[in-house]
Structure formats: C-alpha cells, structure tokens
Amino acid sequence: KIVSLLKRYFLKTDDLLKNMNILITAGPTREKVDPVRYFSNYSSGKMGYAIAEEAAKLGANVTLVTGPTAISHPDFVEIIEVESAEEMLQAVLRKYDQADVVIKSAAVADYRPKYPLDKKMKKETEQLEVKMEKTTDILKTLGELKNDQLLVGFAAETNEVENYALGKLKKKNLDMIVANNVLTEGAGFGTDTNIVTIYDKYNEKIELPLMTKNEVASKLLLHVNKLLREKRK
C-alpha cells in the first residue's frame, strides 16, 4: 500500500487531469463462430493502454474497458475485461454517465457471426459461407447519448484516411478524432510507435510525427485538456 502510494507519487508528473473521470476502451473484440473459432482484428491494445497509463499519471480516475490483449495491466487504472462487441458496449454504457472524457481506442468488430454454434463446426464442405450481421456501433451510440462528455474516437484506415476520419467525427458527434494509416510503417498494429493526425470539431488539425504510443497518448491528452478548458469557458 505504502509502496504503491509512493510509486504513484513519483510517477505523477502533473495534475492536469486531476479528478477527471476518463473512460478508455482498448484492444480488439472477438466474435464467436463456435466454441473454438472467432473473428477478430489486429489491434494489440497498446495505444489504449498507453493512454490509460498517461491519463493516470496526469491524475485522472481512469477506467479501462479492454478486449483480449497480451499487455499487463497498468497501475492505478480500473480494468474491466470484455470479449465481444456486445460486452464492450454494455460495460461502456454502465460507466458512461459518470465519465467526463471517453476515449474509444478499441477496435470493435463491426460484424459478428449471425448464427454462432454451440458445438465445434466440422470441416465437411470444401467451401463455407459465414453469415455476419452488424454489431452495435458503440461510438455512434455514445455520440447519440452524449450529455456533457468529451468524446474522442479513432480512425485506423488503410486509404482515404482524412476523408474517413472527418466523416466519422461529424457523423458520430465526436469532439475529437485520432487518425492513422495502419499500412504505414511505424503506424501499424502491434508496434510501439504510431503516426497520427488529430482532428477536432473546431476544425483544428494537428499532424504528429512518428513517436512512441506513450508520447502520442500524452499529446492526445494535452489536446483533450485544451478542449475541456474551452468547453468550460
């Protein structure tokens, strides 16, 4: 306990986000085909975990809703582990009212198998068609339910990055979006670095060079803090 408090004391570099409730989602989700198989995506969760870590260092009360990842849990962060898009939605909705800031860095599955099986599917046929249905769009749902929360999304794209990012910012009623091209070296999945551009609803655009995900997290939280201050004016 004492060690833990001391650690926190020495970790903290600033109180910029003191008493702020920050809800962060991270990682992929997994959507079951049967008890053995699933659909997922290449998100490692590193970006979201870095944001959680940096936000805790800035004094925020951080809740991290995380899909399956191989990363160890950051200190001073409340962790809620989920697997599917539906579980992530439910976990986020339960925490949404008390949140001042929501940063949705998870790569939630857009589609899930429509008819998941209870038993392991046997490989009898040469071909197979898996019928998929859309999952609930968590970010869109949060945008619609927004009261006073500052809502931050991510756009991990492979083409027309700016177009998609700006479209998403508007359509989903976000305050800010962080965009990257996952095909760019150093900005892809699983790496410890990222190259992002931040867009906000006041038409500000901030292009960041290659940096570590923790550095990206810091920059992003500085901009969050700026938007929070603008809101209060």
Q: Where do contacts with a second copy occur on this chain (CB under 8 A)?
A: 33-42, 70, 107, 109-111, 114, 118-120, 123, 126-134, 156-159, 182-183, 189
- Quote the CA–CA distance of 68 and 109 in Å, as a whole number: 13
Residue closer to a second copy, measured from CB, 137 or 215: 137
Q: How far is the CB of 88 from a second copy (least distance, A)?
A: 16
Q: How far is the CB of 115 from a second copy (least distance, A)?
A: 12
Residue closer to a second copy, measured from CB, 38 or 76: 38
Q: How far is the CB of 178 from a second copy (least distance, A)?
A: 16
CA torsion 136→145→51→183, rounded to 10°? 40
226-to-16, 69, 89, 112, 222 alpha-carbon distances in Å: 10, 31, 28, 37, 6
Residue closer to a second copy, measured from CB, 16 or 121: 121
- Quote the CA–CA distance of 32 and 84 in Å, as a whole number: 8
91, 95, 73: which is closest to 82 by C-alpha? 91
Residue closer to a second copy, measured from CB, 14 or 133: 133
Instruction: Please say if 181 is a catalytic residue.
Output: no
Q: How far is the CB of 232 from a second copy (least distance, A)?
A: 35
Catalytic residue among 19, 41, 163, 214: 41
Which secondary structure element, helix H or strand E, spans residue 213, and what is its range? Answer: helix 213-232
- Residue positions annotated with a catalytic role: 41
